[in-house]
Amino acid sequence: MAEHAGVSISTVSRVVNAEKYVDPATREKVEASVAALGFLRNESARTLRPGQRTATIALVVEDLTNPFSAELAHGVELVAAAAGYVVLLLSTGRDEQGDRDQTREKEIVSELLSRRVDGVLMVPGVDDADGRYAALAERTPIVFVDRLPRGVRGDVVLLDNAGGSRRLTRWLLDRGHRRIGYVGGDRGSGTGARRFSGFRAALKAAGVPEHRELLRFGQHTSEEARTATEELLALDEPPTALFCDNNRMTVGALLAVHRARADVVLAGFDTVELAEVLVDRVALVTYDPVDVGRQAATLLFERLAGSTVAPRRTTVPVELAEFGN
Amino acid sequence: MAEHAGVSISTVSRVVNAEKYVDPATREKVEASVAALGFLRNESARTLRPGQRTATIALVVEDLTNPFSAELAHGVELVAAAAGYVVLLLSTGRDEQGDRDQTREKEIVSELLSRRVDGVLMVPGVDDADGRYAALAERTPIVFVDRLPRGVRGDVVLLDNAGGSRRLTRWLLDRGHRRIGYVGGDRGSGTGARRFSGFRAALKAAGVPEHRELLRFGQHTSEEARTATEELLALDEPPTALFCDNNRMTVGALLAVHRARADVVLAGFDTVELAEVLVDRVALVTYDPVDVGRQAATLLFERLAGSTVAPRRTTVPVELAEFGN
DNA sequence: CTGAAAGCGCTTACAG
DNA sequence: CTGAAAGCGCTTACAG
């Protein structure tokens, strides 16, 4: 490359980096050679120098087949691309029990550290018992999304899970429902726990007793949710309304209610396409996952720009959308 | 690191790379230091050496908010992770006309080349007029997904678009439909063109004339598809069935048909959750995008393992699923 | 405005 | 089995 242009490699570097103080004629010569040879600077070599960035951020999610993760990733990618960064995508997956695979998470942490990514966006597991996130956070700016694991400091972008659930539950209570079924996923996970606590808080505030036989946790797929809903509907005293704590649950419940032609009102967390045309009355708590990704990435880039303010917590508001005739 | 362990950096390298011919005692010493210091090899430095890989592949899609892309990415990630590789995710986006943004695509190609990714998986635009893919393909193994752009050689994983459309159309014809509306996206794009050609082929084979007034192209969102469907249903002689050429189209058509309570049978390409409970009768051509990603990644890793056979073409079969009472 | 030289953190022949 | 040394492709003071 340098020989082809008849200059030193320092000069090539200066041209490629668009530095000032290069003679226009020299610049032209070099640019001609760059074009002729299809020269593209080796990023690994550039990165090697201390103080140089990889211009790479990583996004760690559980599973991209969940639309939340996919849209989140899209929001992140938009911001990253605009900043000239590139996104490394890693999924943690789940083990047989539906928990986070800790081995895989540790592997991911090492990978990110080895590759010297400039920053990390992560939908974390609920706790950080072994300090794996802390070890990462010590060396790399990190923004957590959707939950802040116990035992780590870091910026975090949260959804208003409890608040959304409270509003959704109140919506049902306002319509006179007292026997509300709960179709839920993981009760232990941060998200599920917060949504359930919002549900309970609303009942308590209204002085409405809980019906333990109407609570179904542990469903992971819409199929499981459908079965759980069918069981609820088959009770001697079935619920008059259902609270679904995420989109999988809502889909399953919709199927069950629709097929049973049951007269049940639905309230669900997350957007579900076509939900509103399936049952007579439904309310959904929604938010824009793309925007969550955008916000989280923006926080991260503020850190990369040098911000050293105390860990920040942003809560993305949720909307209650009511459908039905 | 080397000093901490009291050995040379060569020895550290040997231990970290799990090479043989290291004295067990030395190995232990080094491993202790690695643990104590939290040492993690700098991947950029390793990569710099000629012949070394980045252990990175890139996936280029248009837009991750489309479930097809997201599930594809998941399949890719599974295979990559199993091989110890990491996935760089890049989206091309679309410009105002709904076309691929060529500037962004060129940017992506440079990025991939600069970063010396070991391989690329790409859902490409339809043509390669300026040879941007060819320039990439010359230096990097590449597998195209869903379409092979004109003017490039490369492995490719295709869907049976024309075949699926043919079957779907035949399904409608077998049920006596002769006036079939077509709700389509981009007619020019490889995918859309193939699906439409399958539709036409089936009509022709059955000796059924085309009704030009029943063809609606150019819809990009489900909202636009809904409007187009409403127009079709409002015709003096409306169609008795609708062919929807992708999931966005099917969603829009479902909404329109459902709200108009129209007596229309639907046939659609791609999976649409809950579709079957919305209308009385519907057939969908489906396939597993996760598996498409898995297959494409597998082809790529075969290339990375040294395969030099001629460009291969895989076609992922599609299923016809029939719903309704 | 430009070049020679050091050095980033590794891997890998080459000796020993 | 281990170390000294070269070299990967860059960037960046340092001279000039």
Q: What pLDDT digit, counting tens, does each position of B206-257 carry?
A: 999 999 999 999 998 899 999 999 999 999 999 999 999 999 999 999 999 9
A186 alpha carbon, distance to own chain's centre: 16
What's the mean pLDDT in B118-143?
91
Mode of pairing for the β-strands spanning B281-286 and B319-324: antiparallel
pLDDT-derived band at A11 (thresholds 50, 70, 90) equals: very high
Residues 6+ apart with CB under 8 A from A116: A47, A54, B42, B43, B44
Answer yes or no: is A14 CB < 7 A from strand C: yes
**Residue A101: per-residue pLDDT:** 82
Q: Write down the mean pLDDT value for chain B.
A: 92
Sheet with A313-316, edge to edge strand ranges? A313-316, A155-159, A142-145, A119-122, A56-61, A86-91, B86-91, B56-61, B119-122, B142-145, B155-159, B313-316
**Residue A89: per-residue pLDDT:** 97
Is some CB atom of chain A closer than 8 A to the CB atom of B95?
no
Under an 8 A CB cutoff, do A40 and B88 touch? no
pLDDT tens digits for range B184-204? 998 877 889 999 999 999 999
pTM, two decimals, is 0.91
**Residue A164: per-residue pLDDT:** 96
CATH class of domain segment(s) A53-158+289-315: alpha beta
**Residue B128: per-residue pLDDT:** 84
Residue A215 DSSP class = E
Taking Cα atoms as reference points, which of A86, A83, A139, A81 lies closest to residue A110?
A139
Calpha distance A122→B240 (Å, rounded): 49
What's the mean pLDDT in B97-115?
87
Query: Is 80 exceeded by the pLDDT of residue A5?
Result: yes
Alpha helix positions (H), chain A: 2-5, 9-16, 24-37, 43-48, 67-82, 102-114, 132-139, 161-174, 190-205, 222-233, 247-260, 289-304
What's the mean pLDDT in B292-321?
95
What's the mean pLDDT in B35-45?
91
Answer yes or no: is B2 CB < 7 A from strand C: no
Query: Is 70 exceeded by the pLDDT of residue A325?
Result: no
pLDDT tens digits for range A229-283? 999 999 999 999 999 999 999 999 999 998 898 999 999 999 888 877 777 788 9
**Residue B277: per-residue pLDDT:** 75
Per-domain boundaries in chain B = 2-39, 53-158+289-315, 161-286
What angle (nearest 5°) sits at the alpha carbon of residue B258, between those of residues B255 and B264? 110
**Residue A61: per-residue pLDDT:** 96
pLDDT-derived band at B305 (thresholds 50, 70, 90) equals: very high
Q: Residue A196 pairs with which residues in a beta bridge?
A: none
What's the mean pLDDT in B133-137?
92
Architecture label for domain A161-286: 3-Layer(aba) Sandwich (3.40)
Answer yes or no: is B48 CB < 7 A from strand C: yes
What angle (nearest 5°) sits at the alpha carbon of residue A316, between those of residues A264 and B60? 95
**Residue A187: per-residue pLDDT:** 86
Under an 8 A CB cutoff, do B87 and A86 touch? no
**Residue B325: per-residue pLDDT:** 54
Mutate: best of B16, B39, B40, partner A, most A CBs <10 A = B40
If one counts every other C-beta atom within 10 angstroms of the C-beta of residue B169, the result is 26
Is the domain defined by A2-39 classed in CATH 1.10.260.40? yes
**Residue A281: per-residue pLDDT:** 83
**Which chain C nucleotides are covered by protein, judged by CB under 7 A?**
1-5, 7-13
**Does residue A322 sit in helix, strand or coil?**
strand
Residue nearest to nucleotide C13 (CA to C1'): B10
Q: Write down the mean pLDDT value for chain A.
A: 92
Q: Are domains B2-39 and B161-286 of this chain identical in fold? A: no
Q: Which residue of A lies nearest to B57 if distances are taken between CA atoms?
A: A88
Answer whether B146's CB lies under 8 Å from B75's CB: no
Task: Tell me which chain B residues have a C-beta less than 8 angstroms from the C-beta of A87.
Answer: 88-90
